[in-house]
Amino acid sequence: MTIVQIIEGPLWYIAAAVFVIGALWRIIGILRLGRRTDLSVPRSAAFPGAVKALFRHMLPHYGFFNRTKLHVFAGYLFHIGLFVVLFFAAPHVAFLKEHVLGFGWEAMPHWAFIVSAQAAFAGLILLWFRRIADPTMRQISDADDHIGSWLTFIAMLTGCLALQESNASLRALHMLTVEIWLIYFPFSRLMHAFTFVLSRGYTGIVYGRRGVTP
Amino acid sequence: MRLILWVSLLVAVLAGALFANTLSPLAVSSAMAEESVPGETLGNESDSDLWRRVRRGESFTLSDPRLGSGVLVQSEGEEWRSIRNGLVSWYGGILVLVGLGATVLFALLRGKVKIEGGRTGKRVPRFTMVERSIHWFVAAVFILLAISGLIILFGRYILLPVIGPSAFGAVASAAMQGHNLFGPLFVVGLVVMLFAYGMDNVFQAADAKWIIKGGNLFGGHAPSWKYNFGEKTYFWLIVMTGTVLSVTGILMEFPTLVGELWYLQLSTILHAVAALLVIAVAIGHIYLGSIGVEGALEGMTEGTVDENWAREHHDLWAEKVMQKMAENEPKGATKPAPGAAE
Amino acid sequence: MTAAKAVQAFVDTVDAAAASYMEACVHCGQCARACHFYETNDDPRLTPIYKLQPLVKAYKRHKAPFSGLRRMLGLVPAEVTEDELNEWSDLVYDTCNMCGRCTLVCPMGIDIAAMVRKVREGFVAAGIVPEGLTGAADRAINIGSPLGIKPETLRKIVNEQVEEVGIPVELDKEGADYLVILSAMEILNFYEVIGALARIFKQAGVSWTISTEAYEATNIGIQMGDKEIARTLVGRIVDAAEKLKVKYVISPECGHAYSALKWEGPNLVGRPYSFKVVHILELLDQLQREGRIRTRGKDARRVTYHDPCQIVRRGGLVSQPRSILNSVSDGFVEMKNAGVANICCGGGGGVSSNPRAEDYRIRAFASKKKQIDDLQGVEALVTSCANCRNVIEEAIDAYGMDLPVLGLTELLAEYLEPDGGGEPAKPAEA
């Protein structure tokens, strides 16, 4: 078995398994802690509040936009770009169809891929720069923040370097970095891609019960 | 920290294994053997097969509407090739080495430019978060472009003999894809930079005095606003070469924008010349901005500089900023210091 | 050993919600931009999420998923030390009002304000609490009020108000519909509110009383993070209300008192109440809508409204104070970010009872001042929290500003239609 075959074969399955099991373990580990029933009399229902908060915190709050615009701009740029690339790049759609899901969907054209990848790179560079340049960001950042940023950057970069789709080594390099990223994911802050539902939801329950419209 | 150790260990092992593999052409081809279509992964016919058919007198229908695809042999191409791979590569390479050499020479002769009055500990704001973000964004993109661009131009002389054709094929393909991807980001960065820094880089009367004194590169003191004459020159050099790079780069990335192949050939030459020029000068900029001048880098990282640094390097600007700071001091109202200690 | 107690309390206090908050944080630093203490000090330490550090460390070391695996690899954070707790004390107690603006701005929706409360619980377990707060707690437990107001004092003040407005107030009246409780600050500084309530309730025909056993609404236990004290104080109100068989308890113009009684109280005493908790603003708004309060004339001054965080952002009462204010004011203008995003007075969450925090508190008011200054000339500031009112008055003095601060209930009472028509009401503060 060549190294390329290992990367695209067993290592892929190991990485995917670590990712899925690890992420589930962590989410169950959080939920398992449970919450005591709230005995106070709610002003309005909790569940709609949770749903509202889930979407409300996706948008910058009107009261703060002016103070956070650089971060909001870079954050959107990166996340939207990454999301689009992840799920609509032609090679990704084909890969998900053949190896993961069994069904596919319309992939985006090449130019759209380039634009969204560029947005993702631009956003990530700006976000990471802010992390190292702002004293406040330095104060609250730890190794995990930097490793997560860099692994994501490298995984994205190797993907884009393999764009010519003419070289198995380049493709395998991208696979390898993505596998490292997947294995790192459940143990790191990258998990926020899932845990945001919990944190926004729990706060939304409080909003909902108290009748607060954030 | 221990986490970094574990992760880097893992990365090193895996990447090492892959890299060893890349070096061996056999392994790559054995991986390719799995592909259903023989030859390249894209399934194209190999060049030699094609030429064989041409020699046999076969005729072809043109399905590819791209620029120049109807031309079988374009003799100017040879001329272009010899300029790009000869003249430009040779003298351009020398230009970059000259930039490097001049910087080293300056470093040896002048040494580190120190803050003469020493550090006061008082800080003066120099670059806002947005200004710094723009700078480092362009810097990051510039470095990625420079590395990939240098591989595209010089890789065949420097990398190919070392790592072999198979691995170089991968590296060159990666370099080109990366270059094409990051190129447009540089165009955006350039435009933003022009708006963010342009006003302060307009040449002023004080710059004439700076030229006469030769700046403070050689030990003297020369007047300067926010940017001195040298910095302004560098800025406009970036703008000009950047414009050339942007325009020619876009033409190369979207070749159908122009109707003539000749434009593209000219574009590659201009692109290379402008790039090598700006890389040569950027080496000096990077040196002066980082280790060459004490206290300079802080302006771009922390956003603030020492008061004495500001006075020594940008006296006119420093005076104005400090005056503004004094005006903004709170007056009258209670503004107690934090903590009960004071 | 103190640190160990804190760590145990930290670990115990983490439920699924708290855990998801700590797991979801991406260290983006947006919360800093929402904090008036950060804004007015420009100190990275004051970043709201950073204030939770001791709790986060204890959680990651002892309770987080994978903490066992991480411990084996040496990847868990070090144990929290006593020095660390002391170092964090000013972040946890002096520079946080638990006002919840950080919660609002957080892209992950992390309720940082609620988490600071949990951190304080650990500090209480370790006994690292500012003296101002422990002193207030002692007085609340032993005398009945954090400001040391005894039942006799209350009687005296109520009697003065009865004479002032000429309406009798029956204390400890069994079977009344509403039990009024008051914040210490109201009883001592803003006692006119008692007279105002008497007049409003007389017109609206509301049957009400004040208990001499539980007249204090503020809950220092909630502010300092001591569940035992909080439970005792809420328990007093519950006992008195049940003894007097009232249908409602009115939470007064006081922010944290409302949170304590309405949202946390039932969970502290461990059972639902036999009465309903209604905030004075809710009640006044309802009486107005039912036509039971009739006003005449309007205040012509240009006034603005300061939203007390626990009543608005954390309490959900946004429209009620505005409709009450609009009914008696012609010149009501909103501050920028009014409503849920309004900036805190700087004194909530026990900061105003903590002398150590005074510098921080006065400085934090600069954020509020900017909001007021941006309106370019208001003639009065209306609010509905006695603590906000007191804190703002002190800060206004410190900044040399000239701006009267009014309580909403009292303002409404000024414009009540006099019995049987009569002469128009006088303008406030005239």
Q: What is the CATH number of the domain that holds A170?
A: 1.20.950.20
Contact C34 A38 (CB under 8 A): no
Average pLDDT for B253-275: 83
Token couple for B238 = 């970036």
Asked if CATH classification 3.40.50.1860 holds for the domain at C134-287, the reply, yes or no, is yes
**CATH number, domain C294-414, options 2.60.40, 3.40.50, 3.90.470, 3.30.70:** 3.40.50
Q: Are C230 and C237 in contact (CB under 8 A)?
A: no
For chain A, the DSSP string reads --HHHHHHTHHHHHHHHHHHHHHHHHHHHHHTT--PPP-SPPSS-HHHHHHHHHHHTTS--TTTHHHHHHHHHHHHHHHHHHHHHHHHSHHHHHHIIIIIIS---PPPPHHHHHHHHHHHHHHHHHHHHHHHHSHHHHHH--HHHHHHHHHHHHHHHHHHHTTT---HHHHHHHHHHHHHHHHHGGGSGGGHHHHHHHHHHHHHHHHHHHT---
Distance from CA of A170 to the nearest CA of B (A): 6
C382 φ, ψ (degrees, to nearest 5)? -105, 140
pLDDT number for residue B331: 45
Mean pLDDT along residues C182-209: 92
Residue B36 pLDDT = 41
User: In chain C, pLDDT over 70 holds for what percent of residues?
Assistant: 97
Q: Give the model's confidence band at B218: pLDDT under 50 very low, under 70 low, under 90 confident, else very high.
A: low
Residues spanned by the domain of A131 = 3-210
Q: Which residues does chain B have within 8 Å of residue A5's beta carbon, measured at their own beta carbons?
A: 31, 34
Locate the chain A residue with the closest alpha carbon to B29.
Answer: A168
pLDDT in single tens digits along all 214 residues of chain A: 788 888 888 999 999 999 999 999 999 999 999 998 889 999 989 999 999 999 988 888 887 877 778 889 999 999 999 999 999 998 899 888 888 888 889 889 888 888 999 999 999 999 998 898 888 999 999 999 999 999 999 999 999 888 888 788 889 999 999 999 999 999 999 999 999 999 999 999 999 999 888 7
Q: Do B340 and C41 touch (CB under 8 A)?
A: no
Inter-chain contact A184–B7, Cβ cutoff 8 Å?
A: yes
Q: What residue spans in chain C does CATH classification 3.40.50.1860 cover?
A: 134-287
- Does residue C126 contact residue C82 with C-beta atoms inside 8 Å? yes
> What kind of architecture, by CATH, is found in domain C2-128?
Orthogonal Bundle (1.10)
- Calculate how close chain A gets to B1, using CA atoms only, in Å: 7
For residue C250, the SS3 value is: strand
End-to-end CA distance of chain B: 37
Interface with A, mutate which of B40, B152, B181 (most A CBs under 10 A): B181
Residue to mutate among B32, B171, B173, B182, with most A CBs inside 10 A, is B173
pLDDT at position B304, please?
86
A135/A137 Cα distance (integer angstroms): 5
First CA to last CA across chain A, in angstroms?
A: 56
Average pLDDT, chain B: 77
Number of domains in chain A: 1
Chain B, window 286-325: residues with a beta carbon less than 8 angstroms from a chain A beta carbon: 301-303
Question: What local confidence, expressed as pLDDT, does residue C396 receive?
Answer: 93
Residues of C in contact with B334 (CB under 8 A): 362, 398-400
What is the rounded average pLDDT of the residues C235-255?
Answer: 93
pLDDT greater than 90 at residue B13: no
Q: What are the tokens at B290?
A: 């980082």
Q: List pLDDT tens digits, range A114-162.
A: 899 999 999 999 999 889 888 899 999 999 999 999 999 999 999 988 8
Of C75, C360, C399, the CB nearest to B334: C399
pLDDT band at C368 (very low <50, low <70, confident <90, very high): very high
Tell me how close the Cα of A166 comes to any Cα of chain B, in angstroms: 5
Cβ-defined contact of C74 to B339 (cutoff 8 Å): no
Closest chain A C-alpha to B215 CA, distance in angstroms: 29
